[in-house]
Structure 1
Amino acid sequence: MNTAAQMSEANARFHYMDNLRALAMLTGVVFHAALAYSVLAHPLWPTADRGYSLLIDAFAWFFHLFRMPLFFVVAGFFAALLVQKRGMGGMLNNRFMRIIMPLIVFWPLVYFSMGWLIRYAIADVQNLSPLLQMIKPWLANPQAPTAPPTLVHLWFLPYVMCFCILVWVASTLEWHQHLSGLIAWLDALTPMMKACLVPLALMPALFAVPAPFPAPESFFPQWWALLFYGTYFLIGFRLFHQARSVDHLRPYAPRLLLLSLLAYALFFYLLQTKDTTKPEFILQATFVLLQAYTGYWMTLVCIIFGQRWLDVHHGFLRYIADASYWVYLIHLPLIFAIQIPLMDVNLHWSVKLSLSVGATLSIAFLTYHLLVRGRLLGKFLNGNNSSSKTSA
């Protein structure tokens, strides 16, 4: 690629990637709100409600399988864009300012506010969730050990930074030269053949965790998450340099969507019928296989459809994309604050879910408009308007 083409590509506005990133984050708001009414998450979620439904599980865990994989593809794509535009040092500096600095500022606010909300719920709510019922005597014991802190829903930030550092390491060591044969072999495959082979690389990581795969919230990096999400980050990084590969995949989109839905239907059926004991190897391998293919194929479908329908310059979509980072950073304490009083309210789960999602998004977008957009906090999160296309 000549220099002029490189500059044109680096300065282009990838609207569909901005919008896909926003959708992945906003879907996370709905997902976390839905967990309170999930059958599968009922024993484990702090705001688990008396009302729950398998319908919630059917939709929530489907989006779970590709929501964060899609985000890491977008993160890898924008990392490659930053390298092209600003160099490796500029990319690392941008990622530190847009990822690590917000993590340093927002993690204490999120973590301690959620801790306070849980204590408030234990003291004031009558219909406690199973998890809060278990925590209540533990908190009442002054000699009980303190639970180790977690990254909560902000766990993805240090992983993105880690992958950006690994890109710099790989570039410095010129690993691409050692892998040139493998890369050439992969590039020679047909699009559908690659779509069938890539998920195999995701399977070893998924063998290490239960199904559906959990969020790696620990402060200590987990090898399965590094391998799993790192693969998606690498896919996004390569996608920036092979944008035409999306065009090659477009004819296969309906087929990939249908196969994804069939794979997920089988996964969800097995998830509901499996024994509570540790599954046998064949069943575990089936879960891993179905998660890997459903997640990867749906990620491809989102990218294909996103490029087709979301690659537009539209004021409303731009506003949503700019706001999505703030919305995601603050949404979980808002959800807890809204759902905790609802635990004692006698309403159908669908009404409670609608109230949770509607109120959370309303408050988050309102505070973005009043406190963040066009202000110092907005620049801190997204940079200048001209560079917001490369924020993660």
Structure 2
Amino acid sequence: MNTAAQRPEVHTRLHYMDNLRALAMLTGVVFHAALAYSVLAHPFWPTADKGQSLIVDAFAWFVHLFRMPLFFVVAGFFAALLVQKRGIGGMLKNRFMRIVLPLIAFWPLVYFSMSWLIRTAITEVEHLSPLLQMIKPWLANPQAPSAPPTLVHLWFLAYMMCFCILVWVASTLELHKHFARLDRALSAWTPMKTVGLVPLLLMPALFDVPAPFPAPESFFPQWWAILFYGTYFLIGFRLFHQGQWLEQLSPFAPRLLLISLLAYALFLYLLQTNGMAKPDLLLQAVLVLLQAYIGYWMTLVCIIFGQRWLDKPRGALRYIADASYWVYLVHLPLIFVIQIPLMDVNLHWGVKLSLSLCATLGIAFLTYHLFVRSHLLGKFLNGNNLSSKTA
């Protein structure tokens, strides 16, 4: 199955993969901006506003189930492309330059700016969110222990590099030879059999975390995240070598989308009715099952539709793809800067969400265009991959 004929040409621009990666990152901006007006996220989001809506929950948690899985599939796909193009060593060097160095450079700026913003909000905002109300006396106590630092929203960079290192380990140990029989068995699966069985492999990882599954922001690797997102990374890695698999699955994409939407309606209903209570074992199993299948099926739907509609060299989409890395790195502090003053403003939640989202994206794209794209920072983030500056 892994013949060279089935792999994309390494010098061919994979526009739909670039665009899917960009859209996954930009969806993250929308998701984080929306959490301030979510009913479910209200108890634990720092900028949670007094205005909330179930409409926000319906959108936010739906995209949450497949946004990062899609991103890791794309990451695995590009890792396989780099291995074929440059070898294992070249892939690791590229990933170190594009992942590790930006993480080292941006993490202190993001983490300490957000810490300062939270402290500022506690002292200046009148209508504090439940989380800030809980933090306020803790910060006022000089004897209180310091909270351990987290990777904040940059956690995906650490896990992506971890998976690339695991590819190198597997290649060095020649593990493909030991699992050749298993690989042949998996390759023999029909697309629909894969659609039905792969989510079952994702379920064990989700049993250990609440629903919807959280972001693994800790500096210590979390086994569930390695297993869960690592499976998606492996799916993308294999997808590079088995492109015909998507073609066989393409006719079923509308049905997968419809079933996913129906399954999500049930998932959201169960979340709303259970509230903050810890689910019993049966309910937890149902929530895990729904998350695994919705996330996997919607990831496939996005890739199939992306290949169908986004695989063209469009200047605007390429510009967004180039800018998306910078936008995602800086967006969360920008959201906090904008939403913290809005917590005391008496406006409809929809107006606040629109203001915070438009201002965040506007500032992020403007700073990218003025200070990043044509400068050293742009090369640092995007390498030599910038195309013509049309858009």
- The alpha carbon displacement at 1:6 in A equals 9.1
Q: Is the 8 A contact 2:25 2:328 kept in 1?
A: yes
> 2:94 aligns to what?
94
State how far apart, in whole Å, the 1-side matches of 2:243 and 2:90 are.
22
Residues 149-181 of structure 1 show CA distances to partners (whole Å, capped at 9, x for unaligned) of 000000000100000000011111111122222
State how far apart, in whole Å, the 1-side matches of 2:139 and 2:3 are.
63
Spell out the pairing of 1:95-110 with structure 2 (5 A cutoff): 95-110=95-110
Spell out the pairing of 1:36-115 with structure 2 (5 A cutoff): 36-115=36-115
Q: Is the 8 A contact 2:326 2:381 kept in 1?
A: yes
Q: Is the 8 A contact 1:15 1:311 kept in 2?
A: yes
> 1:145 aligns to what?
145
User: Do structure 1's residue 244 and structure 2's residue 244 form an aligned pair?
Assistant: yes
- The alpha carbon displacement at 1:385 in A equals 2.5
SS, match of residue 155 in structure 1 = helix
Do the aligned partners of residues 137 and 178 (structure 1) sit closer, same or farther apart at CA in structure 2, a change above 3 Å counting? same
- The alpha carbon displacement at 1:132 in A equals 0.6
State how far apart, in whole Å, the 1-side matches of 2:161 and 2:192 are.
31
Spell out the pairing of 1:106-145 with structure 2 (5 A cutoff): 106-145=106-145
SS, match of residue 160 in structure 1 = helix
Q: Is the 8 A contact 2:163 2:233 kept in 1?
A: yes
State how far apart, in whole Å, the 1-side matches of 2:104 and 2:257 are.
39
SS, match of residue 374 in structure 2 = coil
- The alpha carbon displacement at 1:275 in A equals 5.8
> 1:335 aligns to what?
335
Q: Is the 8 A contact 2:6 2:241 kept in 1?
A: no
> 2:16 aligns to what?
16
> 1:376 aligns to what?
376
- Equivalent residue letter for 1:385: N
Q: Is the 8 A contact 1:323 1:368 kept in 2?
A: yes
State how far apart, in whole Å, the 2-side matches of 1:2 and 1:26 are.
34
> 1:33 aligns to what?
33
TM-score, structure 2 as length reference? 0.97
- The alpha carbon displacement at 1:52 in A equals 0.3
Give me the identity figure in percent.
79
> 1:155 aligns to what?
155
User: Do structure 1's residue 174 and structure 2's residue 174 form an aligned pair?
Assistant: yes
State how far apart, in whole Å, the 2-side matches of 1:262 and 1:192 are.
19
- The alpha carbon displacement at 1:183 in A equals 1.8
SS, match of residue 10 in structure 2 = helix
State how far apart, in whole Å, the 1-side matches of 2:387 and 2:169 are.
25
- Equivalent residue letter for 2:308: R
State how far apart, in whole Å, the 2-side matches of 1:201 and 1:249 are.
19
Moved more, 100-109 or 185-194: 185-194
State how far apart, in whole Å, the 2-side matches of 1:324 and 1:279 are.
37
Question: Aligned pair count?
Answer: 387
- The alpha carbon displacement at 1:386 in A equals 6.1
> 1:265 aligns to what?
265
State how far apart, in whole Å, the 1-side matches of 2:251 and 2:110 are.
43
Do the aligned partners of residues 386 and 346 (structure 1) sit closer, same or farther apart at CA in structure 2, a change above 3 Å counting? closer
Residues 77-96 of structure 1 show CA distances to partners (whole Å, capped at 9, x for unaligned) of 00001001110000001001
- 5+ residue gaps in structure 1? none
SS, match of residue 93 in structure 1 = helix
State how far apart, in whole Å, the 2-side matches of 1:122 and 1:8 are.
52
Q: Is the 8 A contact 1:7 1:85 kept in 2?
A: no
Spell out the pairing of 1:237-386 with structure 2 (5 A cutoff): 237-274=237-274, 276-385=276-385
- The alpha carbon displacement at 1:277 in A equals 3.4
Q: Is the 8 A contact 1:16 1:312 kept in 2?
A: yes
- Equivalent residue letter for 1:285: A
State how far apart, in whole Å, the 2-side matches of 1:133 and 1:148 are.
19
- The alpha carbon displacement at 1:330 in A equals 0.1
State how far apart, in whole Å, the 2-side matches of 1:135 and 1:275 are.
22
Do the aligned partners of residues 15 and 124 (structure 1) sit closer, same or farther apart at CA in structure 2, a change above 3 Å counting? same
Residues 228-248 of structure 1 show CA distances to partners (whole Å, capped at 9, x for unaligned) of 000000000001111111111
Q: Is the 8 A contact 1:6 1:84 kept in 2?
A: no
- The alpha carbon displacement at 1:111 in A equals 0.4
- The alpha carbon displacement at 1:26 in A equals 0.2
> 1:232 aligns to what?
232
State how far apart, in whole Å, the 2-side matches of 1:367 and 1:350 are.
26
- Equivalent residue letter for 2:102: P
State how far apart, in whole Å, the 2-side matches of 1:311 and 1:117 are.
40
Residues 112-163 of structure 1 show CA distances to partners (whole Å, capped at 9, x for unaligned) of 0001111111111101111111111111111111000000000000100000
SS, match of residue 143 in structure 1 = coil
Q: Is the 8 A contact 2:36 2:42 kept in 1?
A: yes
- The alpha carbon displacement at 1:2 in A equals 7.8
State how far apart, in whole Å, the 2-side matches of 1:309 and 1:346 are.
41
Q: Is the 8 A contact 1:152 1:217 kept in 2?
A: yes
Do the aligned partners of residues 6 and 86 (structure 1) sit closer, same or farther apart at CA in structure 2, a change above 3 Å counting? farther
State how far apart, in whole Å, the 2-side matches of 1:122 and 1:242 are.
52
State how far apart, in whole Å, the 1-side matches of 2:373 and 2:327 are.
12
> 2:190 aligns to what?
190
SS, match of residue 307 in structure 1 = helix
State how far apart, in whole Å, the 2-side matches of 1:181 and 1:351 are.
57
- Equivalent residue letter for 1:219: F
- 5+ residue gaps in structure 2? none
State how far apart, in whole Å, the 1-side matches of 2:37 and 2:9 are.
45
